[in-house]
Amino acid sequence: MATLSSAGISGSGLDETMIAKLVALQRQSLVPLQQKASVLDSKISTFGQIKSLMSTLQDAATSLADADTWRLTNAATTNTAVGVTVTDANALPGSSVISVTQLARSQSVATGIMPTATQFGAGKLTITMGNWNSAGTQFSNPGTPMEIDIAAGAKLEDVVQAINGKGAGVVASVLKDAQGERLVLRSRSTGADAGFTVGASGDASLSALAFNGAATTGSVAQYAQNAEIDVNGIKVQSTTNEFKQTLPGLNITVNQVTTSPVTVTVTSDTDALKKKIQAFMDAYNGLNDALASSTKYDAESKAAGVLQGDSTTVGMTNSLRSVVSGTVAGGADTLKRLSDMGIQIQKGGKLAFGTTASDKTKLDAALKDPESMSKMFAAVGTDGQPDTQGLAARMKDFTRKALEFDGTFDTKSKSLQELKKSNGKSQDRINDQADSLEKRLREQYASLDKKMSGYSALSAYMNQQVSQWNK
């Protein structure tokens, strides 16, 4: 608003508050626009909250629409010698019998005892990785030899540093006791292919560190081997003590040779399934409550929800309830709708696990039949037959379409923003008109002040002249 001088107090005698009252009267038409703008802000905010709840429901529906969700399993064994974990949805309920015949190990070689601080002449050690038979008489599948230089005067600690610094497939260390020292070499990994030979060349003293098969006098050798188990009568080997995917979807770990068979049992994870169903119900109920609250009318307070009568919100509410109350055609004979698994649609559209004995029995039976539940929730359906699609798959599609670009929320949001923009322009126009009125009034009153001031001066002069004449 422009800054103007005070209108004609001295000249016209007009009250300054008159202009303020006339301008305020001009701005009265802003009130309904400001009220409407406040309502639009509430609607935009409410739709934002509903959109967030719809996104949460989409995530929950997507989980139930995934067939792998209904393959969630637990696994257990009857003996700690065999451990088992579920790695993916390919684990099938059932039992298997496992016996552990041998554990995986690395090759380990210890030289004969040497006097402390023994020194060696210059030369080379050559380490070759490969595969020894259990008797140490045959070496096969040799890899690329790795040569390690040994300096003259080297002690066992120096030999260890030279080997370990080369990054060979073995780890070296010195074993000390009251009798002296030994060089110990151990392959870095386990399994039959982790065997190795040690060749020596150069000074003859290095031959004490060589290994090419059976242990010599005073030396000790343990040969590398695979872990071996018997699974339902079939022998299976692994280079480590882990057997990944030997049984579909399972990771088996062995830590002890068994004297009697161990039973591995895989069962459906009913607790996890129930939690995922509960998450879907909670997400749906949260959205349902928000929609109901925004469209309700409170008779006592005579207050209407911010979205009461909004066709988009009412249509969304009806569509959501239609999905959860639907029937899946072509599904399992016993599971075609939520009530078949003990889930009831309560007053107001909320979902809840039934409390009657019959509902609890239905739920227990459904959780023990994940394949039928998968059909009811996750069935892809047949083109042209929407009622063959699973309930969660339907909800996933519905929420996706509502949330995608140019979907229900995007269209509604744009509409509300356009109304808010138009409202703002209308308010600006009224404010501009009020500013113009104030400016015009001040200019008019200023002109009147000037004229009235002139008239006052003339009147004073004439009065003065008349007084002189009378004298």
Judged by average pLDDT, the poorest of 144-158, 389-403, 420-434, 449-463 is: 449-463
pLDDT at 226: 97
Write down the pLDDT at residue 9: 46
Residue 57 reports pLDDT greater than 50: yes
Q: Which of 40-49, 295-304, 406-415 has the highest mean pLDDT?
A: 40-49
Per-residue pLDDT of 157-180, as tens digits, reads 999 999 999 988 999 999 999 999
> What is the Cα–Cα distance from 189 to 311, expressed in whole angstroms?
68
Threshold 0.95, pTM exceeds: no
Q: Which pLDDT score, from 0 to 100, does residue 219 have?
A: 79
Using DSSP's 3-state secondary structure scheme, residue 74 falls into: strand
* pLDDT 10s digits, 347-386: 889 999 999 999 999 999 999 899 999 999 999 988 888 8
Contacts 24+ apart (CB under 8 A), 419-427: 419/40, 420/37, 420/40, 420/41, 420/44, 423/33, 423/36, 423/37, 423/40, 424/37, 426/33, 427/30, 427/33, 427/34, 427/37
What was the pLDDT predicted at 5?
44
Give the residue, 44 or 14, on which the prediction is more confident: 44
268: pLDDT strictly greater than 50: yes
Helix 391-403 / helix 30-64 crossing angle, nearest 10 deg: 140
Write the DSSP symbol of residue 113. Answer: P
Q: Chain centroid to CA 175: how far?
A: 50
**Residue from 10, 9, 13, 12 nearest 448 by CA:** 12
The predicted-structure confidence for 428-441, as pLDDT tens digits, reads as follows 888 888 788 778 87
In the prediction, which pLDDT does 7 show? Answer: 47
CB 306 within 8 A of CB 294: yes
Q: Other CB atoms closer than 10 Å to residue 331's CB: what's the count? A: 22
User: Domains in the chain and their CATH numbers?
Assistant: 40-68+271-409 (no CATH), 73-104+227-268 (no CATH), 108-222 (2.60.40)
